[in-house]
Structure 1
Amino acid sequence: MSIRIMTATATLLAILPLPILPIQALAAGTAPSDITVRTERFPRPPYSGATYYIYERDAQVICTKLEVCNKYDQCSSKYVTGSYKDPLDVETGAPYGTTPPVAIRQTSLAKHVCLTRFHLDKP
């Protein structure tokens, strides 16, 4: 019985069409029009920090969220279309922490205020 299931599965996989993506998309693990988000962290004296959420599509920055939190976890956010760095963080230089870009699922795009505020959540 299990041999029939395996044969049927192999046959089904052989006849299903597979999407063809450019080599760059396969290497990055995302489709060309996917939106990704990455973070950069900067220190803010005294005892606070700034986190940038950088949203990109096709290797272009489309939106930036700046979140500044103090030592009591009280935070404020600022949303800007395109690339943005506060002058304080430009003075600091390189960020002390970064994360690699992660693709955002199409079903989750509406949860990101930076994208919905500027109507960037649509392909």
Structure 2
Amino acid sequence: MKTVLILDDEYLIADILSFALEDEGILTVTAGRGQKALEILDRERPDLIITDFMMPGMTGIEFAEAVRARDSNKNVPMILMSGAQAHLGAERPDLFVEVLAKPFDIAVVLAKVKALLDMDK
């Protein structure tokens, strides 16, 4: 079973994404802060990471850079979801395979996640 790490300090958004992905048969792990998500990466091996941009402690870009610096996670695909800062993620294709704007269309998110996890067959 595939696992997705969801990092968003807005718990309602993390819960919506988590419930929608779990309905598709995807395991999820959530975190509200970048440091907590890095701790989760020490235990879990997610197949995909979805991160917000604006969060306390570190931005989504800082988090993604920290993930890429770890040998065990440097190839995990990451999606950035953001409102006003989406353009900053689009400038970093070395970090993010997709950049999705908030508010998001859950059907679009599910389709992107399933394609990246190679589950759309």
Please give the TM-score of this superposition, normalised by the length of structure 2.
Answer: 0.25
Structure whose alpha-carbon radius of gyration is higher? 1
TM-score, normalization by structure 1: 0.25
Per residue, is there more strand in 1 or in 2? Answer: 1
